[in-house]
Amino acid sequence: MRLLAGQALSRAAGAPLGGNRVQLLIDGQAHFEAWAGLIESARQYVLLENYLIADDPVGRRIRDLLIARARAGVHVALIHDWFGTLGN
């Protein structure tokens, strides 16, 4: 896993920088649980970019977490694709 993650990073972002870590998420459930945990633990800012945030249980959970962090004084910035969220 570490070799695969290292190869992906070196191709996508250049040489890895110290003090970072990679976690390979293999399915949507793991992906969104990781997001939720990171959003909940944010103390200064949340910078989130995503193609699609649906009006479904997962999308509403992410929305509610972002709102809660913003109300707690955390800077929240969200970028989402206009086409991916068309109709939502």
Distance CA(62)–CA(59), nearest Å, equals 5
Q: What is the pLDDT of residue 86?
A: 66
Confidence of residue 7 (pLDDT cuts 50, 70, 90): low
Q: Which domain holds residue 40?
A: 25-88
Indicate whether 19 belongs to any domain.
no
Residues 49-72 have pLDDT tens digits of 888 888 899 999 999 999 999 999
Indicate whether 15 belongs to any domain.
no
Q: Kindly report whether the global pTM for this prediction surpasses the value 0.75.
A: no
Instruction: Specify the pairing of strand 75-80 against strand 45-50.
Output: parallel
pLDDT surpassing 80 at residue 74: yes
Indicate whether 20 belongs to any domain.
no
Q: What share of the chain is helix, strand, coil (3-state, %, to 5)?
A: 45, 15, 40
The mean pLDDT of the chain is: 83
Total domains, the chain: 1
- Give the residue-averaged pLDDT of 26-37: 88
Indicate whether 82 belongs to any domain.
yes
Which amino acid is it at 33?
E
Indicate whether 80 belongs to any domain.
yes
